[in-house]
């Protein structure tokens, strides 16, 4: 599996960002002191990756914690995934709401994730799928689709995960979440102000994180 990796980092987390880069074997880091902003810094990573001769590209945020045997597990997961967009992290706490396509009523998201995880464990499914991308902690996209994604996200004023979700919906792509998550999340205070200006005062950790002996293409849809 031919994959290029970039790390999206803030100068306040420079040390841990360089450690993450070394751990996962990243080829590029976009470091920002706040001048670019979160979205633009993510875009810098994707613009670099779009030029690489790879099958897949991955952007990790500086507060991602990679599991042991990360590279081997990543390649196995990407070889089995049923979707062109793969999140290596499915977390607790946020987002709070989800609107299934078959209803007009938004539902609390985290219980739906919990139900999907239980079913995935019962059926030995390696992925949980959704039409939306809930997090930008660790996102892989097929490299040949990055150009299309950037055409949408560069001009978007929405947070990067929302912007990628909008692109997925417009183009009929789904997002697959590895089960378990291949990265966890450092539950630290944000270094930048989130657009919704809401405090992050509940644990932001992966529902499940670890590795698998084998990866399959089975998936369970959220909602």
3 state SS for the chain: CCEEEEEEEEHHHHHHHHHHHHHHCCCEEEEECCCCCHHHHHHHHHHHHHCCCCCEEEEEECCEEECCCHHHHHHHHHHHCCCCEEECCCECCCCCEECCCCCCCCEEHHHHHHHHHHHHHHHCCCEEEECCCCCCCEEEEEHHHHHHHHHHHCCCCCCHHHHHHHHHHHHCCCEEEECCECEEECCCCCCCCCCCCCCCCCCCCECCECCCCCCCCCEEECC
The pLDDT tens digits for 2-16 are 999 999 999 999 999
The pLDDT tens digits for 100-141 are 555 556 678 899 999 999 999 999 999 999 988 999 999 999
Looking at the 3D structure of the chain, how many domains does it have?
A: 1
- What's the pTM? 0.89
Q: What is the CATH number of the domain that holds 49?
A: 3.90.550
Domain holding 77, by residue range, is 3-221
């Amino acid at each position: 599996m031919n994959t290029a990796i970039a790390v999206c980092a803030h100068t306040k987390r420079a040390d841990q960002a360089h450690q993450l880069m070394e751990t996962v074997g990243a080829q590029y880091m976009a470091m920002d002191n706040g001048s670019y902003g979160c979205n633009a810094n993510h875009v810098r990573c994707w613009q670099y990756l779009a030029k690489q001769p790879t099958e897949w590209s991955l952007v990790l945020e500086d507060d991602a914690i990679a599991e042991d045997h990360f590279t081997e597990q990543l390649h196995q997961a990407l070889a089995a995934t049923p979707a062109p967009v793969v999140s290596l992290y499915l977390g607790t706490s946020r987002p709070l709401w989800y609107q299934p396509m078959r209803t007009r009523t938004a539902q609390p998201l985290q219980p739906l994730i919990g139900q999907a995880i239980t079913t995935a464990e019962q059926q030995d499914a390696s992925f949980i799928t959704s039409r939306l991308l809930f997090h930008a902690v660790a996102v892989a996209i097929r490299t040949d689709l990055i150009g299309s994604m950037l055409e949408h996200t560069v001009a978007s004023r929405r947070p990067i995960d929302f912007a990628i979700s909008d692109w997925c919906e417009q183009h009929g792509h789904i997002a697959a979440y590895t089960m378990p998550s291949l990265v966890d999340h450092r539950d630290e205070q944000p270094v930048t102000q989130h657009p919704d200006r809401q405090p992050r005062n509940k644990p932001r950790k992966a529902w499940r994180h670890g590795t698998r002996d084998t990866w399959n293409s089975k998936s369970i849809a959220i909602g």
